[in-house]
Amino acid sequence: MSTIRAVIFDLDGTLTEPFLDFDRIRQEMGLPEGIGVLEGINRLSIEQKRRAEKILLTYEDHAAQNSKLNEGAKEILDVLRQRGISVGLLTRNLRKNVEMVAAIHGLRFDAIVDRTDGPVKPDGFGVCRLCERFAVLPSETLVVGDFRHDLQCAKDAGAIAVLIRTHSRIDEFVHLADFTIDRLDELLTIIDSK
């Protein structure tokens, strides 16, 4: 029997095709390059923060409404569930957008942690929260994502970091990953090897 008892997914760029253009969002908000959008917003004045949050919500809503699944996304969630492996979603987005994507594409998660639940990725809070919810150890958990924050939060919590190659900047983050995959169904090979 596998020692992997839970898999935690990122949303944009992992289960769905990359849609959000964070460079463009930062530019529209007047934030410098190289800073996370949420971190940048937190440094703004109250008035600037309101404006920036409105911009972000517009982009996130549009992304959710127009989302397209990465190949094999729905199938991998179904297979994991059939194997009795808990499926979590950890996102810097809002729950309403996750729920919209889930409804559009017929996805089901056993638990969701979004940016309103506590410290966001790269903090390991969300991974720990989901592991507690599933009654599993982080060492029994795969965290799957397409960006540095996903891998850092996995490491911070003591989970196994899996990088999926869905965009051109992936090579910047490979050194942070325990495993790198090209397709979601490759997760089964990792799970079967544990």
- pLDDT single digits (tens) 69-118: 999 999 999 999 999 999 999 999 999 999 999 999 999 999 999 999 99
Q: CB-based contacts of 30: which residues, under 8 Å, 6+ apart?
A: 48, 52
Q: Is the pLDDT of residue 131 over 70?
A: yes
SS3 state of residue 72: coil
Instruction: Measure the CA–CA gap between 67 and 15, rounded to whole angstroms.
Output: 10
Mean pLDDT of 115-141: 97
Question: Which domains, and CATH codes, for the chain?
Answer: 6-17+68-193 (3.40.50.1000), 22-65 (no CATH)
pLDDT of the residue at 34: 85
pLDDT band at residue 21 using 50, 70 and 90 as cut-offs: confident
Contact (CB, 8 A) for 187 and 181: yes
pLDDT of the residue at 1: 45
Give just the sign of the alpha carbon dihedral 136, 104, 184, 26. negative
Preceding omega of 32 cis (within 30 degrees of 0): no
Mean pLDDT of 150-161: 98
Mean pLDDT of 181-187: 97
* pTM of the predicted model as reported, rounded to 2 decimal places: 0.92
Mean pLDDT of 3-16: 96
Q: What percent of the chain has pLDDT over 70?
A: 99
Q: Average pLDDT, whole number, for the chain?
A: 95
Instruction: Measure the CA–CA gap between 179 and 114, rounded to whole angstroms.
Output: 24
Single out the residue of 142, 136, 154, 138 nearest to residue 190, CA to CA: 142
- Strand 6-9: give its sheet, edge to edge: 111-113, 86-90, 6-9, 141-145, 160-164, 179-181
pLDDT band at residue 2 using 50, 70 and 90 as cut-offs: low
